[in-house]
Amino acid sequence: MPGAPVEPHLFIVLGGRGDLMRRKLLPALARLILQGFLKEDCQVLGAARSPELDDGKFRALAREALAAADLFADDQIARWCDECLHYQPIGRGGTEDYRSLAARVEALERAYCLPGNRVFYLAMPPAAFPNAITGIGETRLNRGPGWTRLVIEKPFGRDLASAQELNRLIHRFFDESQIFRIDHYLGKETVQNLLVFRFANAIFESLWNRDRVESVHITVAENLGVEKRADYYEQAGALRDIVQNHLTQLLTLVAMEVPAAFEADAIRYEKVKVLRSISPIRPEDVVFGQYERAPMDDGDVPGYREEPGVAPDSTTETFVALRLEIANWRWQGVPFYLRTGKRLPRRLTQIVVTFRYPPVSLFRPFDACEIHANVLIITIQPDEGFDLSFEVKAPGQPITLLTQRLHFRYAEAFGPLPDAYETLLLDILTGDQTLFVHADEVEASWRLYTPLLEQKPPVHPYPARTWGPVAADHLLAREGRQWLNL
């Protein structure tokens, strides 16, 4: 957690009645208070369309959310909830609605002697972003007496053109230093530790190149289906929902060069360099899939087209696998394989770095002496940690080689890890942009994937709770490789 102090501020959540506020933001703020990073008088203003809500009813909803997170039993949090949470309806988000919001913001700042520092968190559907940004800007809520920061959830745009348009709109009212494009994956301790793992351990950084690495696999697997998000998912699909942001962020952290300093601008600069070095992705290197009904012991799992709200003839992809190459001196010729999907066998986010075989095997004359490549497995979730495989000789004769693993688990060493939103919210409040996405990153990423959206590959069916379509296996098998499915 950052060491910089948090200045007094007003935390304004547009979409304050939504699922993100209830499940993530309120509990994260409460935990930061309990840990002493935020003061108990941290003022929060929720804004949403609902005209029937007022401060009292909003606080009642917050109590339910905090109780569900096992936080409301604490007297400190109960007091915070009753005294520091406020609500302002914004109707359809017209000019008058935002003028009323501005008046409420200024009234709360006077009432609580706040210096005018403001966070605007857009916890709302992406289609609502332009109206909210315009409303904030035109009512000069972005020009308070203190600092103002704008937080935007992914997805940031639907393609390159829409991302560029959204960036232009935001930059009308906010400087890039005020903008926090949030990707919650970057708040996970294991993701942040990628930088420490690489750059604080010379033994690994010296191997982190095309001379020693044979391939890199990155998987973001979900065992759930579309759940209640069909309205969004039908318009997005797996490429927009996961590949363009989560998977690509992990890719840049794995592949980036050593930054000049451990600070936001230096790290973001190196990430953009990676994206700009990726060769155009060939159509034959991409596989789209969609899960189908599958019988299971505990009952049939419905297919995507059978989910509520999904069109019966939908061609939306729920699975993407792709191969790409980074055309720079460090990675030239090393294939990177990215994969994500819904209704896979388990929830898993994992990076697999396979090292090259020894140039000559000394043990070929012996039976049972097949040498396996050394493999580094970085597990981001759910069992956060690292595994490194290596070859050993089994006791006795004749000579037999066995693969063993060194492993490290965060839970064993440190206990429960903080939620990603705790880390990210504290960074927002202290003004640290290291774990947030720059405008150039967003556009470079969309520039890479927009051609795939314009020339959409065929969508292959795969049974629910399997590791995706057979075509995804063929993507690797043609080069003598296979996915690591744990």
Return the residue matching tokens 């699909």. Answer: 237
From the candidates 86, 184, 217, 246, which is the catalytic residue?
Answer: 246
Q: Please give the DSSP secondary-structure letter assigned to residue 437.
A: B
* C-beta of residue 339 within 8 angstroms of C-beta of residue 323: no
- Which phi and psi angles does 369 have, rounded to 5°? -125, 35
Residue 246 is a catalytic residue: yes
| CA gap 407, 326 in Å, rounded | 29
Cα–Cα distances (Å) from 374 to 32, 103, 324, 405, in that order, read: 40, 62, 22, 10
Residues 6 or more apart whose CB falls under 8 angstroms from that of 5 comprise 430
Query: Angle at Cα 436 formed by Cα 132 and Cα 114, nearest 5°?
Result: 60
Q: How far apart are CA 433 and CA 439, in angstroms?
A: 12
Q: Are the C-beta atoms of 310 and 207 separated by less than 8 Å?
A: no
Q: Is 318 helix (H, G, I), strand (E, B) or coil?
A: coil
**Residue corresponding to tokens 């992990």:** 250
Taking alpha carbons only, the member of 18, 37, 87, 50 closest to residue 425 is 37
- Rounded Cα–Cα distance for residues 381 and 478 (Å): 29
- What residues are annotated to the active site? 246
